[in-house]
Structure 1
Amino acid sequence: MPAYAAVRAFLRAGSRASALLCLNDRLAFGAYQAAQEAGLRIPEDLSVVAFDDSDLASWLRPALTSVALPHFELGRRAVELLLDPTRPMGRHLVEMPLRSRASVGPPA
């Protein structure tokens, strides 16, 4: 189910949330549309955060707060680990900075 339809159904069912966490910026776009149709204002009534930090994040109004996914670095690190026979087991962290923009506000 697309984000627009899911958020629309959620809001039509009378459900309330103070924030939405979307898997990517395109899904956040659908959430923005459904929230607007329901008469909700971002960020006054509903905060929205997503992952990707694509160009879309800065184009949306209000601009979308998004976690930047360093795709190149993730791929490079994955290949390094796969090709290293002495690779350490466990977690391998890659920095993913938060790009704070106007889509987050205090809970309504």
Structure 2
Amino acid sequence: MSDIAKTPQPPYYAVIFTSERTEGDHGYAETADEMVELASIQPGFLGVESAREGVGITVSYWDSLEAIQNWKQNERHLIAQRKGMSEWYLRYKTRVCRVERDYGFEAESKN
């Protein structure tokens, strides 16, 4: 996933998931894609950005703490969380933040 999420004006919330993987895929890529698809249809979901080179960082954006909690308790997500702890991750850290301000830059297309 390489797009920058198009988020609304703050405030909103960000869940930052930083991880270090075990060796091998063991179904990880397929489940990660499934989790993004599933999260994207959850009420309150605003977008996601992800990168992995050694350490993986996925940031998902939500409109409320309640939406984050509901996603955390989603049955399919709970299964993936358990598999993450038993097979996919050496370690991970989750941080939940309130976004108070954002800004950016986008170059104009030179067509």
* TM bucket normalised to smaller: under 0.3
More strand by share: 2
Larger Rg: 1
Greater percentage in helix: 1
Bigger RCO (CA 8 Å, 6+ sep): 2
TM-score normalised over the length of structure 2:
0.25
